[in-house]
């Protein structure tokens, strides 16, 4: 039969999707150029973010925060606030006396402080009032009596001081987590090394600074269902914690994640405002909204941990790594957050892309009286990656080996294991190095650039999701439900959190190809706990691999049904039916085709309503080590990255300008190349900003351990140096280098259509590539981030005086 | 405008009283009552339900709330609503004509210039003013450095700005083409007897 | 989000009306573009009950370059001023300086008058209520001690207006209006005398007075000025180092006179003259001597959010680079 199938009776009255008569187009949607499927919603101002939601009779919540870095709460008197007209409810820690925390083993936070405050900004009480103005005025009428305690702001002090304990119930002083893991005989290998590079590296704190401030709305409806809309990237974990803290069964809670205006890890655990709006909605029977001020976003933080690192790396004369010995002190801030994972990641994620014949890491995370650190894009591994990549650069210089070549020599390979027994599948790391070498003109430029200009390289790797859920479970990590119907549309219900990274587009792309529709025919409904199956959330770069595989499982089941039904009509084997671009067609003769809508109608009339579910669980055999901690940081598949940065250093001022930065990233398969480029560019920019400008800095304590007064004087301890988007200087459009994104595709059998992550990996090596380029330009090392003009200038002066002495 | 003509010059209202504001919003006359301490951002978002204009930093540091006031991009969070009396305000909801997206919106969607989309409405309003300005120039040309400067007050945390600048450049190219076409047509007309 | 505290907005009908409103309304403050005032009211560091809007008043408008002295109305928007053809031709460094203020959106609302009266800035005052409460306040807020200079008796918050140093070296004067027996009178004050060393009230404009315009004399032949700003970012930021240099050359190309004005020190800019180098040609040696003198006499404080010792070093380089534009005139003024 040639041409479109004549309309059958059941379909005659229905609206038809336009299908042209042109030949079947078999070009896959995967890999084609397209933007976000939901972009126009946001671009026209139609999409409703959390603060765009307004419910009838909605109240506004404001949270009272501690002005002390460390204090015991002696008394709270809310009566004056409660008496104010327009105030509907005031709650304190006693109203929500349940600990929470994203990691079940380290829950150490209360929605509102119960007996102690542990940083300036810790939540103490919350008000629901008729307007934000009234709520704010009511906060001023809450009288809190504090007994101020000595505070710790220096992580080294946290290790040594026994008189101050930030969490009384903690067994090990102020140590939040300590991990030591050793593989092979590190000490012997170091003694036998031709060259040992040893150095201290300081990685400063930085924060996510998504443009959308955190916001949540809570509402209990007439049926007793609590609904919380929140700008979160982990609606499922929020759902669990709301249940625990509010003592409410899961089925009586609905969490909806509206479009989120950026997150980067900063919205990946529950926050005080979500519990407060839920509790206040329960108490008042009215919807309650809480929108953070920008300062509150800085206080909520959960940003990159400051690391003090000491690294020793041994090499043979050819530049092969023989041993790595790393010691890190992590400044965790007031609470645990993801800190247990961060501490493991600080060592476990360093095991590739280079072979470490012997490896030891010793990482300690401490509590301090500062905003809590947590996961920021490239969680836990950006800091040690900086150290090791600078170590490699120093070795290359010492041994006279080209730094790219040195990295090639140490490449771990594919289908292999790291020393920590993580299984590495596909790896396009060598291709990444080739690409940045070529694109940057490395070979003809290196060493030939004018004075003050330099090139630097670095490499890295990252996970495509972690092998295990944050809580112990045998349940799937991601799932989808898919429905097809007579309209020719595909509906995908998926739990993933779209936060701008394009997760809705990823599933749409995969579904479009499998089911033979166009991208615009796929409706993705995401992250609504009443309507979508569970996905663990947008963290650890898990979305593409996990939701993608779940989506493929469901769509493939449906596609099989469609093929069978169509093959019966055409009297051909089901394997001869292809589905693409709104057509079902014979693979052996593409002139035989029918509109895909006809195929859906045929299938629906024969089989009833068309639906399928798919879910994904990570493989557990031979992917990680059996030792304690051997599972943390293991992933089904790893991405690989290389950066080359070209910088210009002004030797009079110390200014460092990144002129261009090339990033090649192996994402396995680029399902949506435009979006992958966006992730590469965004990650690279964020890394460059951390390298040169951004600093989430907390002012130090007024007193030193020896009782001597510090320069900063009393009063400032625990305060943020920069808590606005004016003072926290993140780059404007006029401050960014030329960003060149290069996609490398080394498909991984574990990824959907071969795809791996792209959202976090491309941040890592951006920072050491810049640091290494600064050395190439002017011969000074800044191992203490960020690389600011005053540090460069001071280093140049030191170098000049040393040179003078030698003469 | 002289003082006498100024439509807001009438009389003061008492604090906390609502004042009645009349202004043009996306080409239509609106009247809205708002307390005098409200900013234009609050009036747009919470009074008129035009939530396309976003709030990011509270106080003029990020550009997410950029709207056009008498054509010029300004920060709605820093503009007292009282000062828009009698003036013309354009927001992202007013971009595009007859349900068709503005060339900027199309370019942003196609080139992946909006990731989380939160800075985007403000970005679009800054870019739209630039495009209008470009259309009035004698010899308009697309210049990436100029685009970066135009967007210098709009922070984006997702993209690294590369795709945003590309999208604005693409839309600017379309504007230039259209302007030149119009110019040629009017030249042709001029040549007619 | 941060909101403005409840307050009233009065739209002045005339300059006279504005001056009356400012004295009769409770806790009244003049409002032009509001880009500084609104932020400071939101964070609670500035208090007001009434804002008197002046931006539309005819007396505060326009750039008039018809005479020997150019009059710029206080309400002229920064963006307008930066692209004004007369200003670009006569005072390109002024056009550049105001074109580097904050961001495009702020330049579209902010005015020259507003920038001249920009409140002083300090890392201990430009903070939220919570932050200042935790600190225990400072001299400029509700506290009793200065955290920049512990034990210091005066507020040393920094003058951070980009337009001030350049207007100072250009010899600008402020036109200030007040009511005297119901009649409008004005006075002129050289910008060099407009600023005081008290960071709580650093502009010498009395209650009941209003800045209405700035008058800038046209430059004689052989005179030119350069403004240099350093900030971490190319946009949005206030200056961390701010310096204007003016050089008047004689017919032989030798220095006749010169001035340097430095901002972002304390509340008042520092003005230095180059008279001891009069008669000399501008070369690298002279430039370095001038830069050294500016360095010696300028002491950036830890008041704004950047290492003050570096800011001092940076100031030296910025002066040097400004002077180098006379050595190699082809180089841009930036």
Mean pLDDT of A314-342: 98
Q: What is the pLDDT of residues A377-400, one digit of tens each?
A: 999 999 999 999 999 999 999 999
What does the alpha-carbon distance between residue A605 and residue A179 come to, in Å, rounded to a whole number? 60
pLDDT of residue B181: 85
A:260-289 residues touching chain B, CB 8 A cutoff = 260-264
Closest approach of chain C CAs to the CA of A294, in angstroms? Answer: 7
Per-residue tokens: A274: 């979500």
- Asked if A39's CB is within 8 angstroms of B118's CB, the reply is no
CA–CA gap between residue C148 and residue C123 (Å, rounded): 9
User: What is the per-residue pLDDT for B10?
Assistant: 38
Asked if A749 has any chain C CB less than 8 Å from its own CB, the reply is no
Structure-block tokens of residue B49: 């339900």
* Partner-chain contact C105 B38, CB within 8 Å: no
Q: What is the pLDDT of residue A700?
A: 84
Q: What does the angle CA A348 – CA A352 – CA A356 come to, to the nearest 5 degrees?
A: 85
Look-up: residue for tokens 């119960």? A114
User: How many whole angstroms separate alpha carbon A129 and alpha carbon A106?
Assistant: 34
Q: Give the pLDDT band of residue A768 (cuts 50, 70, 90).
A: very high
Q: Which of A45, A682, A684 sits opposite B158 (nearest CB)?
A: A682
pLDDT of residue B192: 47
Cβ-based neighbours of A345, under 8 Å, separated by 6 or more: A379, A380, A381, A632, A633
Q: Do B56 and A725 touch (CB under 8 A)?
A: yes
**Cα of A411 vs its chain's centroid, Å:** 26
d(CA C46, nearest CA chain B) in Å = 14
Helix (H) or strand (E) holding A546: helix A543-570
- Identify from B116, B156, B168 which residue to disrupt to test chain A contact, counting A C-beta atoms within 10 A and taking the largest count: B116
**Contact yes or no for C178/C210 (Cβ under 8 A):** yes
Of B3, B60, B82, the CB nearest to C9: B82
Segments of chain C with pLDDT less than 50: 330-334
Band of pLDDT at residue B6, cut at 50, 70 and 90: very low
CB contact under 8 A, C103 and B153: yes
State how far residue B189 is from chain C, nearest Cα, in angstroms: 33
Bond into A786 cis (ω within 30): yes
**How many CB pairs below 8 Å do chains B and C form together?**
132
Q: Which among C41, C102, C133, C135 is the top mutation candidate for probing chain A, defined by the most A β-carbons within 10 Å of its own β-carbon?
A: C135
Q: Cβ of B157 and A208 within 8 Å?
A: yes
What distance in Å separates the CA atoms of residue A459 and residue C151, rounded to the nearest whole number?
Answer: 51
pLDDT tens for each residue of B21-49: 999 999 999 999 999 999 999 999 999 99
A167-A172-A173 Cα angle (round to 5)? 55
Q: Which of C6, C233, C309 sits opposite A735 (nearest CB)?
A: C233
Instruction: Find the radius of gyration of the CA atoms of chain C.
Output: 20
A726-753 confidence digits (pLDDT tens): 999 999 999 999 999 999 999 999 999 9
Q: Mean pLDDT over residues A106-117, rounded?
A: 97
Q: What is the pLDDT of residue B187?
A: 74
**Residues 740-769, chain A, touching B (beta carbon < 8 A):** 741
Is B2 in Cβ contact with C8 (below 8 Å)?
no
A75 touches chain C (CB under 8 A): no
User: Which candidate from A41, A45, A734 shows the least CB-CB separation from B152?
Assistant: A734
pLDDT for B189 = 57
Q: A740 to chain B nearest CA, in Å?
A: 9
Query: Looking at the predicted complex, does its ipTM rise above 0.85?
Result: yes
| Chain C residues lying within 8 Å of B61, measured CB to CB | 236
CB A618 within 8 Å of CB A633? no
Q: Which residue in C has a C-alpha nearest to residue A292's C-alpha? A: C1
pLDDT at A706: 44
Q: Is the backbone of residue A699 left (phi > 0), alpha (psi -120 to 50) or beta?
A: beta
Q: Is the pLDDT of residue B193 over 80?
A: no
For residue A701, what are the contacts with CB-CB under 8 A and spacing of at least 6?
A: A69, A150, A151, A152, A153, A154, A157, A710, A717, A718
Ranges assigned E (strand) in A156-287: 175-183, 195-203, 215-220, 226-230, 253-256
d(CA C295, CA B144): 37
Q: Is A320 an interface residue toward C (CB < 8 Å)?
A: no
Residues in B closer than 8 angstroms to C234, CB to CB, are 152
What local confidence, expressed as pLDDT, does residue A683 receive?
98
pLDDT tops 80 at residue B188: no
Mean pLDDT of B140-146: 96
Quick check: A681 and B163 CB within 8 A?
A: yes
Average pLDDT over chain A, rounded to an integer = 95
Nearest CA-CA distance, residue C57 and chain B, Å: 5
Give all chains having 3 or more CB-to-CB distances under 8 Å with chain A. B, C
Residue A612 to chain B, least CA–CA distance (Å): 30
Q: What are the backbone angles phi and psi of residue A88, rounded to the nearest 5°? A: -105, -30
**C79 contacts B72? CB cut-off 8 A:** yes
Asked if the C-beta of A291 comes within 8 angstroms of chain C's C-beta atoms, the answer is: yes
Whether B58 and C1 lie within 8 Å, measured CB to CB: yes
Is residue A529 over pLDDT 60? yes
Q: What is the Rg, in whole angstroms, of the alpha carbon atoms belonging to chain B?
A: 19
Res. B15: pLDDT tops 80:
no
pLDDT at A523: 97
pLDDT in tens, A714-729: 478 899 999 999 999 9
Return the percentage of chain A with pLDDT > 90, whole number.
Answer: 93
Residue C147 has its nearest CB partner, among A291, A713, A723, at A713
C-alpha C45 chain-centroid distance: 20
Chain C adjacent subunits, 3+ CB pairs under 8 A: A, B
- How large is the average pLDDT for residues A351-375? 98
Output the DSSP codes for A559-601. Answer: HHHHHHHHHHHHTS-GGGEEEETTEEEETTEEEEEEEHHHHHH
Cα-only R_g, chain A: 28
Q: How far apart are CA A323 and CA A326, in angstroms?
A: 10
Using CB atoms within 10 A of its CB, is residue A82 exposed (0-12), middle (13-18) or buried (19+)? middle
Q: Is residue A562 very low, low, confident or very high in pLDDT (cuts 50, 70, 90)?
A: very high
* Residue B128 touches partner A, C-beta closer than 8 Å: no
pLDDT score of B16: 53
**Is residue A121 within 8 angstroms of chain C, CB to CB?**
yes
At residue A16, does pLDDT exceed 90?
no
Mean pLDDT of A488-495: 97
Which of A33, A41, A44 to probe by mutation at the B interface, max B CB count within 10 Å?
A44
| Residues ≥6 apart with Cβ < 8 Å to A396 | A319, A402, A403, A405, A406
| Contact check, Cβ <8 Å, A133/C3 | yes
What CA–CA distance (Å, rounded) separates A38 from A498? 10
For C194-211, the pLDDT digits (tens) are 999 999 999 999 999 999
Q: How many other C-beta atoms lie within 10 A of the C-beta of residue A667?
A: 32
- A59-65 and A123-129 strand pairing: antiparallel
pLDDT in tens, C48-93: 999 999 999 999 999 999 999 999 999 999 999 999 999 999 999 9
Res A17: pLDDT: 66
In the predicted structure, residue A709 carries a pLDDT above the cut 90? no
Cα–Cα distance list, A168 to A101, A456, C110 (Å): 17, 47, 52
Distance separating alpha carbons of residues A147 and A768, to the nearest angstrom: 44
State the residue for tokens 């370095």.
Answer: C288
pTM: 0.96
> Can you tell me the mean pLDDT for A271-291?
98
Q: pLDDT category, A6, cuts 50, 70, 90?
A: very low
C13 interaction partners in chain B (CB closer than 8 Å): 3-4, 6, 9
CB of B114 within 8 Å of a chain A CB? The answer is yes
C-alpha span between B91 and B49 (Å, rounded): 12
Residue B8 above 70 pLDDT? no
Is A754 in a helix, a strand, or coil?
helix
Option in B101, B159, B165 nearest A44 (CB):
B101
Nearest CA of chain C to the CA of B185: how many Å?
A: 31
Task: Express as a percent the part of chain A with pLDDT over 70.
Answer: 96
**CB within 8 Å: A44 and B62:** no
Residue C7 touches partner A, C-beta closer than 8 Å: no
Nearest to B116 among A44, A209, A500 (CB): A500
Contact A138, A129 (CB under 8 A): yes
Residue C328 is predicted with a pLDDT of 66
A118 contacts A70 by C-beta, under 8 angstroms: yes
Please write the tens of the pLDDT for every residue from B70-101: 999 999 999 999 999 999 999 999 998 888 99
Between C3, C103, C233, which is nearest A731 by CB? C233
**A43 three-class SS:** helix
Give the span between the Cα atoms of C11 and C34, in whole angstroms. 13
Residues B117, A500: C-beta atoms closer than 8 Å? yes
Shortest CA gap A18–chain B (Å)? 20
Lowest mean pLDDT among A106-120, A400-414, C143-157: C143-157
DSSP code of residue A148: E
> What is the mean predicted confidence (pLDDT) over A399-413?
98
Do the chains contact at C235 and A732, CB–CB below 8 Å? yes
- CA dihedral for A13, A19, A23, A25, sign (positive or negative): negative
**Alpha helix positions (H), A225-380:** 235-246, 272-284, 294-300, 339-348
Token pair 């936070």: residue = A109
């Amino acid at each position: 039969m040639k041409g479109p199938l004549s309309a059958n009776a059941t379909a005659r009255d229905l609206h038809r999707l336009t299908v042209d008569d042109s030949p079947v187009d078999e070009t896959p949607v995967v890999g084609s150029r397209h933007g976000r499927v939901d972009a126009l919603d946001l671009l026209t101002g139609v999409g409703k973010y959390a603060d765009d939601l307004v419910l009838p009779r909605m109240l506004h919540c404001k949270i009272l925060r501690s002005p002390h870095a460390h204090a015991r709460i002696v008394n709270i008197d809310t009566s004056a606030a409660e008496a104010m007209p327009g105030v509907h409810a005031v709650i304190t820690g006693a109203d929500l006396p349940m600990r929470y925390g994203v990691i079940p083993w380290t829950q150490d936070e209360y929605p509102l402080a119960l007996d102690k405050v542990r940083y300036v900004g810790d939540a103490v009480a919350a008000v629901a009032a008729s307007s934000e103005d009234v709520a704010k005025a009511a906060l001023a009428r809450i009288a809190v009596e504090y007994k101020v305690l000595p505070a710790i702001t220096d992580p080294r002090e946290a290790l040594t001081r026994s008189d101050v304990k930030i969490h009384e119930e903690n067994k090990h002083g102020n140590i939040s987590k300590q991990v030591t893991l050793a593989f092979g005989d590190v000490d012997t290998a170091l003694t036998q090394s031709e060259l040992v590079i040893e150095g201290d590296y300081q990685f400063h704190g930085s924060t996510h600074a998504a443009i959308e401030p955190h916001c949540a709305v809570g509402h209990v409806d007439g049926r007793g269902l609590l609904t919380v809309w929140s700008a979160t990237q982990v609606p499922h974990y929020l759902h669990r914690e709301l249940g625990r803290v509010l003592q409410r069964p899961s089925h009586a809670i609905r969490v909806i994640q509206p479009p989120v205006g950026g997150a980067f890890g900063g919205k990946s655990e529950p926050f005080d405002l979500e519990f407060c709006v839920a509790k206040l909605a329960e108490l008042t029977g009215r919807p309650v909204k809480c929108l953070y001020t920008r300062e509150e976003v800085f206080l909520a933080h959960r940003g990159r941990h400051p690391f003090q690192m000491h690294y020793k790396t041994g090499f043979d004369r050819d530049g092969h790594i023989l041993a790595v010995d790393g010691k890190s002190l992590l400044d965790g801030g007031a609470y645990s957050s993801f800190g247990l994972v961060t501490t493991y990641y600080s060592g476990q994620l360093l095991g590739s892309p280079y072979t470490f014949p012997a490896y030891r890491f010793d990482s300690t995370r401490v509590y301090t009286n500062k905003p809590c650190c947590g996961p920021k894009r490239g969680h836990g591994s950006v800091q040690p990656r900086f150290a090791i990549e600078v170590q490699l650069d120093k070795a290359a210089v010492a041994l006279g080996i080209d730094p790219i070549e040195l990295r090639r020599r140490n490449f771990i390979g594919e289908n292999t294991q790291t020393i920590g027994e993580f299984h590495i599948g596909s790896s396009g790391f060598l291709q990444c190095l080739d690409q940045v070498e070529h694109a940057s003109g490395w070979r003809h430029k290196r060493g030939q650039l004018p004075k003050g200009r330099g090139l630097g390289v670095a490499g890295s790797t990252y996970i495509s999701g972690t092998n295990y859920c944050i809580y112990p479970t045998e349940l799937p990590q991601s799932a989808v439900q898919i429905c097809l119907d007579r309209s020719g549309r595909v509906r995908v219900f998926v739990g993933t959190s779209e936060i701008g990274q394009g997760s809705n587009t990823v599933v749409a792309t995969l579904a479009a190809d499998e089911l033979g529709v166009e991208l615009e025919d796929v409706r993705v409904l995401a992250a609504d706990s009443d309507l979508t199956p569970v996905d663990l959330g947008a963290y650890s770069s898990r979305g593409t691999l996990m939701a993608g595989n779940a989506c493929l499982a469901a769509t493939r089941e449906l596609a099989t049904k469609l093929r069978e039904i169509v093959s019966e009509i055409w009297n051909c084997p089901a394997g001869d039916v292809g589905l693409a671009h709104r057509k079902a067609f014979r693979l052996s003769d593409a002139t035989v085709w029918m509109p895909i809508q006809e195929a859906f109608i045929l299938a629906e009339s024969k089989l009833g309503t068309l639906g399928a579910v798919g879910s994904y669980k990570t493989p557990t055999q031979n992917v990680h080590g059996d030792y304690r901690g051997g599972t943390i940081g293991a992933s089904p598949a790893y991405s690989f990255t290389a950066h080359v940065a070209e910088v210009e250093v002004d030797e009079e001022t110390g200014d460092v300008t990144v002129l261009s930065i090339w990033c090649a990233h192996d994402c396995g398969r680029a399902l949506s190349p435009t979006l992958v480029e966006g992730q590469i560019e965004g990650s690279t920019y964020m890394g460059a900003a951390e390298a040169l400008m951004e600093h989430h800095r907390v002012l130090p304590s007024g007193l030193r351990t020896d009782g001597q007064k510090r320069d900063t004087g009393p009063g400032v301890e625990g305060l943020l140096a920069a808590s606005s988007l004016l003072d926290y200087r993140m780059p404007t459009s006029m401050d960014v280098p030329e960003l060149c994104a290069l996609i490398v595709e080394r498909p991984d059998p574990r990824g959907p259509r071969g795809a791996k992550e792209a959202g976090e990996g491309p941040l890592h090596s951006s920072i050491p590539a810049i640091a290494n380029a600064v050395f190439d330009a002017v011969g000074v090392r800044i191992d203490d981030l960020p690389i600011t003009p005053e540090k460069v200038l001071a280093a140049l002066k030191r170098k000049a005086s040393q040179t003078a002495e030698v003469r | 405008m002289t003082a006498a003509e100024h439509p807001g010059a009438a009389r003061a209202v008492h604090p906390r009283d609502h004042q009645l504001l009349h202004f043009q919003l996306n080409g239509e006359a609106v009247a809205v009552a708002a307390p005098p301490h409200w900013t234009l951002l609050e009036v747009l978002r919470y009074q008129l339900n035009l939530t396309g204009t976003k709030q990011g930093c509270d106080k003029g540091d990020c550009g997410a709330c950029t709207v056009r006031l008498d054509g010029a991009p300004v920060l709605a969070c820093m503009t007292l609503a009282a000062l828009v009396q009698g003036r013309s305000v354009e927001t992202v909801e007013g971009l595009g004509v007859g349900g068709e997206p503005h060339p900027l919106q199309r370019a942003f969607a196609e080139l992946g210039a909006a990731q989380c989309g939160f800075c985007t409405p403000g970005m679009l309003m800054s870019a739209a003013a630039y495009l209008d300005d470009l259309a009035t120039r004698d010899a308009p040309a697309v210049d990436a450095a100029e685009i970066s400067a135009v967007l210098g007050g709009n922070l984006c945390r997702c993209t690294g700005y590369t795709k945003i600048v590309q999208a604005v450049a693409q839309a600017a190219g379309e504007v230039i083409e259209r302007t030149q076409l119009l110019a040629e047509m009017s030249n042709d007309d001029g040549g007619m007897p | 989000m941060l909101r403005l505290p409840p307050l009233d907005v009065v739209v002045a009908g005339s300059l006279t009306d504005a001056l009356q409103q400012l004295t009769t309304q409770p806790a009244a403050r003049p409002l032009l573009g509001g880009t500084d005032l609104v932020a400071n009211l939101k964070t609670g560091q500035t208090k007001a009950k009434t804002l008197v809007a002046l931006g539309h008043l005819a007396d505060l408008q326009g750039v008039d370059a018809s005479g020997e002295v150019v009059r710029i109305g206080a309400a002229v928007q920064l963006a307008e001023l930066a692209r004004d053809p007369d200003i670009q031709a006569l005072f390109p460094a002024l056009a550049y300086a105001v074109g580097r203020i904050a961001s495009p959106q702020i330049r579209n609302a902010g005015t020259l008058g507003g920038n001249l009266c920009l409140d002083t800035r300090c890392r201990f005052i430009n903070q939220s209520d919570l932050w200042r409460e935790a600190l225990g306040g400072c001299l400029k807020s509700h506290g009793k001690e200065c955290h920049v200079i512990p034990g210091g008796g005066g507020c040393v918050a920094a003058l951070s207006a980009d337009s001030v140093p350049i207007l100072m070296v250009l010899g600008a004067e402020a036109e200030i209006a007040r009511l005297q027996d119901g009649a409008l009178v004005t006075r002129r004050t050289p910008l060099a005398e407009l600023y005081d060393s008290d960071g709580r009230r650093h502009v010498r404009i009395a209650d009941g007075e209003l800045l209405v315009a700035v008058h800038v004399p046209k430059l004689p032949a052989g005179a030119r000025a350069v403004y240099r700003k350093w900030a971490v970012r190319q946009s949005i930021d206030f200056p961390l180092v701010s310096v204007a240099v003016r050089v008047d050359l004689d017919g032989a190309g030798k220095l006749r006179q010169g001035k340097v004005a430095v901002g972002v020190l304390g509340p008042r800019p520092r003005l230095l003259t180059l008279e001891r180098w009069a008669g000399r040609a501008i070369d690298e040696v002279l430039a370095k001597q001038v830069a050294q003198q500016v360095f010696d006499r300028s002491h950036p404080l830890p008041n704004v959010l950047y290492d003050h010792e570096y800011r001092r070093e940076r100031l030296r380089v910025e002066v040097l680079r400004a002077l180098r534009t006379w050595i190699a005139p082809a180089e841009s003024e930036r």
